[in-house]
Amino acid sequence: MLDGKPIEEQPEYLTGRRIAYIDGGTYFPQGTILDNLTFTLKNEPVKPAERTAAEKKQYDFEFFEVKRSGNFELDFEAQWIDYNRIDVANDGELSERIRDILIKIDLEEDIRGLGLRSTFDPEEFPELSSAILEARSRFRDQLDELGFSEFVEPFDPEKFNNQASIGENLLFGTAILPGYELDKLPGNILVRTVLDEENLNQEFFNMGKEVAQTTIELFGDLDPDNPFFDQLTYMNADELPEYRQALSRIAEKPIGEVGEEDLFKIMRLTFSYIENQNRLGLLSEELKDKVVKARANLREKMLELTEMPVALYEPESYNSASSLIDNVLLGRVSNTVAEGQERVTAAIRSLLDEMELTDDVFRIGLTFNVGSGGKRLSETQRQKLHLARALLKQPDILIVNQGMNSLGGREQENIIKTVLELSTSNEKHPFGVIWVPMNAGFAEFFDRVLIFHDGELVTDSNPKAIKDSDPLYKELVA
């Protein structure tokens, strides 16, 4: 009941705005973290979109057509978030409010982590992209001091990077268009043309065959779960039989007589090979030099295309197709050093904090796309995001029905205490909390406990009052 009426009889505008409900289900539509956090705040347009005269003319024409066809007439480009309702004045204050909530429920650091892994348009954030280039320069200057020089190798257009695969050394950038991803390069026509011009097709083919033969000899009789397979960058255990068959079909055939499928398989091994990690002794200094030369040829050919298919690794430029942290690093970390990647990530985070870029990284983190259903987030992150969205809309009543069930007991306890504190700390917007916890022992943190048995309410009391006297309560919290 709510105000003397069953909840289902209350108007939707009231229940939707004033009640927040969370359960264990955590589906999120595809969109950014910010989109999903503010989704429940977008009930109706509150301010028209600002448009130039030309844009207004185009909008009026489109709106006329929309009305004629009987489609949705509301302007999706209008401002839909009512800032006054949640006591903020603008986007900046909204971002701060979101950050404050995420800090309280221990999700803010995760969002910054997602920010490090996100891409952004340097034209949209010119000051940030310039700051990241400065961070890159500082990080490279600190490699010796940090003790990273032995296992971190920055990208240099004139040199072969020993921590990167042969394919990555050849492409020397991040794919923008389909067909230029690293796993597609062996079949890319432009790449094949360059290899042919540089007399590398046969050499890559021979090396791929050798990689396949050596791998089968060394690992062919091992159990598929053997940890040795974790060290292979170019083949997994399930592919060994396929390569045995491919080598049998190829035998001594010249490259021109090899079927396209088998040729792709063999060439893929060469493209994926990292000498410093795979250590089969197949990559000579001479071949490295040839790959660097072929890189320059490929670059020239790509620049002649109508659309650049790859965002190249340029020491003085921001790479819009790479993540923020990869732009600071702009290089590769050896996989042969224990916790090398973790140490580098921690050092870059510390550097960005020192440069006072934490707020910017958080802002980029809010633009992270959660994927269909939120699948790019962990279950714990989705449940915390669900709670953050509920708190952001400042409800009168918050209902949590086993909504934090993926969290550990201590973390659930901390969040319950935090939410209860928030429910009374804002004098302007206090709210009631109804919580169905996984652990009945958490009932002690609440003012009132309701216990149902066989569909009937059997206890309604303060937990302290029934702690020793109610046998059902004692059984539940035991």
Secondary structure string (H, E, C) spanning 152-221: EEECCCCCCCCCCCHHHHHHCEEECCCCCCHHHHHHCHHHHHHHHHCCCHHHHHHHHHHHHHHHHHHHCC
Predicted pLDDT of residue 24:
84
- pLDDT at residue 446 greater than cutoff 80: yes
Q: How confident is the model at residue 471 (pLDDT cuts 50, 70, 90)?
A: confident
pTM of the entire predicted model: 0.83
Of 260 and 56, more confident? 260
108 pLDDT above the threshold of 80: yes
Using DSSP's 3-state secondary structure scheme, residue 309 falls into coil
Q: Please calculate the CA angle 64-70-72 and round it to the nearest 5 degrees.
A: 85
> Residue 47: phi, psi to the nearest 5?
-155, 130
Task: Give burial (CB, 10 Å; 0-12/13-18/19+) of 252.
Answer: exposed
Q: pLDDT tier at 57 (50, 70, 90 boundaries)?
A: confident
Quote the mean pLDDT of the chain.
Answer: 91
* pLDDT of amino acid 1: 65
Task: Provide the pLDDT for residue 82.
Answer: 85
- Read off the pLDDT band of 58 (50, 70, 90): confident
Residue 13 has a pLDDT of 80
Q: Is the pLDDT of residue 71 over 90?
A: no
> Is the C-alpha dihedral spanning 345, 346, 349, 354 positive or negative?
negative
pLDDT in tens, 206-229: 999 999 999 998 887 777 777 777
Which distant-in-sequence residues (6+ apart) come within 8 Å of 470 by Cβ? 451, 459, 461
User: What pLDDT, on the 0 to 100 scale, is given for residue 352?
Assistant: 96
pLDDT, average across residues 316-330: 96
Residue 16 confidence (pLDDT) = 83
Query: Averaged over 104-127, what is the pLDDT?
Result: 95
How far apart (Å, rounded) are the C-alpha atoms in residues 96 and 153? 37
Helix 108-116 to helix 358-365 angle (10° resolution) is 90
Percent of the chain with pLDDT over 90: 63
Beta strand 397-401 with 19-23 is: parallel
